[in-house]
Amino acid sequence: MEKPIVSIIGAPNVGKSTLFNKIVGKKISITEDTPGVTRDRINADASWLNKHFLLVDTGGLDFKDTDVFKVNIKEQVNLALDMSDVIIFLTDGVLGVTPTDREISNFLRKSNKKIVLAINKFDSKQTKENYYDFFELGFDNPILISSEQGTGVGDLLDEVIKGFPSNEEIDDDSDIRVTFIGKPNVGKSLLVNKIIGEERSIVTNMAGTTRDAIDSKFRYKDENYILVDTAGLRKKAKINEAIERYSVIRTLTAIERSNVCVLVIDAKEGVSEQDSKIVGYAHDNNKAIIVAVNKWDLIEKDNTTMKEFEYNIRKRLPFINYAPIVYISALTGQRIINLLDTILIVNNNYNHRIKTGVLNDILNRAVLSTQAPSDKGKRAKLYYGSQVAVRPPTFLLSVNDKKLFHFSYVRYLENQIREYFGFDGVPIIIRLKNRGDN
């Protein structure tokens, strides 16, 4: 079962981003620099009473121009409604009911989605005086909150999560979700259509044709797949349509929901900075990753072409050196079966669990082969390890002092695990715990 999506909608300056940060539990910057990727932070995982959901901040909406609202904002709100399980409609209690609030409520009332009306700035006397005016918007039981102080946010979330699945139900989804990501016009839609054998996505040579993340059911070798065709992510400077910003949200949401992400690269263009940003988001979310080099049939080749292309990919995308590379043609169907087989292998790796005894045999051999580092006469000691999670494979190592374990030695241990079990296409997480710590 998929993780529910909750979107915050409201006019500018009503406190949407403040509420977003309060629910998530930390201040998340609009842009964040990380190795290999700079991205907009418009959504984040959140939880309340052990129920997890994806929270989306729609801070990019501009409601100031009522003419633009009539033409453009309606479509944006409809997109938010379509992608979300619950909408938090946030209003400003000090201002009272505004014309923009009425415009938004008119759209929301016509939907079949759950709408929770929140009135912000509870700590103001004016808000309490305006409270009953908000009933005219047509929603039951408006909830008074202060997104700054956190007052009433618990009551709001109690209402939001009613009917949400438990974490166990979310994790029990047996379908393999495969999300195809990449720049516009690299052939993602054509590739999905070729795999499922029917034209589900619009395919043209115009960049940006696909705006929504489109799900397609597919079965291969007794496994059920959900193939997700996403809108191509453009450079930030080129995202000048407010509606396209929702396409970005939908693409990032599709990545977070997926098991395996397939980065589709145009063989004629090679790896770009935008490819790095897109796949960097999948890597940061610990997704299994495959690189599919499309339009390989259009490349003039010799006996070194593939080797040189792989070298350039590894050089430009060093943080996903675990990802296998498949050279395909979505137009002709070349090596599509190879891609499907690779997806199946990578997904199995993503869910693979190593027995504790076998893992410790590998770790002991690794330590005997290359001694752990020391500092000021004190040597690092590795006592034992266990795998504590899958999707991705996560290992917890009990040690004498975490500070003695340089990241290079932890990387060495990871490589030793990969040498025995491969884990192609899958990130590995290794955590250290001092013996005796809880």
DSSP letter, residue 353: -
Contact by Cβ (8 Å): 92, 100: no
**Residues forming CATH 3.40.50.300 domain(s) in the chain:** 5-168, 174-350
Per-residue pLDDT of the chain (438 residues; tens, 9 = 90+): 567 889 898 888 888 888 998 998 865 433 333 322 222 336 677 889 888 888 887 754 554 555 544 445 556 566 667 778 899 999 999 999 998 888 888 878 878 889 999 999 988 888 888 999 999 999 988 999 999 899 999 999 999 999 887 766 555 557 899 999 998 889 998 999 899 886 555 444 444 444 445 677 888 998 989 888 887 665 555 444 444 555 676 778 788 889 999 999 999 999 988 899 889 999 999 999 999 999 999 999 899 999 999 999 999 999 999 999 999 999 999 999 999 999 999 999 999 999 999 999 999 999 999 999 988 889 999 999 999 999 999 999 999 999 999 999 999 999 999 999 989 999 999 999 998 776
The pair of three-digit structure tokens given for residue 419, joined into one six-digit string: 């040498």
The pair of three-digit structure tokens given for residue 266, joined into one six-digit string: 């145009």
**Residues forming CATH 3.30.300.20 domain(s) in the chain:** 356-434
Cα dist from 148 to 10, 27, 85, whole Å: 16, 12, 25
Task: Quote the CA–CA distance of 332 and 108 in Å, as a whole number.
Answer: 45
Q: Which CATH number fits domain 5-168: 3.40.50.40, 3.40.50.300, 3.40.190.10, 3.30.2350.10?
A: 3.40.50.300
The pair of three-digit structure tokens given for residue 139, joined into one six-digit string: 């929603």
Instruction: List the CATH code of the domain at 356-434.
Output: 3.30.300.20
Cα dist from 18 to 32, 116, 239, 353, 395, whole Å: 17, 17, 24, 40, 35
Q: How far out from the chain centre does Cα 58 lie? A: 16
The amino acid that residue 334 corresponds to is Q
Kindly tell me the sign of the dihedral angle through the C-alpha atoms of 416, 419, 422, 427.
Answer: positive
Task: Quote the CA–CA distance of 395 and 432 in Å, as a whole number.
Answer: 8
Cα dist from 362 to 105, 391, 402, whole Å: 60, 21, 20
Q: What angle do CA 129, 59, 157 make, to 5 degrees?
A: 60
> What one-character-per-residue DSSP string does 397-435 give?
EEES-GGG--HHHHHHHHHHHHHHH--TT---EEEEEET
Contact by Cβ (8 Å): 156, 178: no
Rg (CA), the chain: 24
Kindly tell me the sign of the dihedral angle through the C-alpha atoms of 265, 269, 270, 275.
Answer: negative
DSSP letter, residue 232: P
Among the listed residues 99, 111, 44, the one whose alpha carbon sits nearest the alpha carbon of residue 285: 44
pLDDT at residue 368 in the model: 95
To the question of domain 174-350 being in CATH 3.40.50.300, the answer is: yes
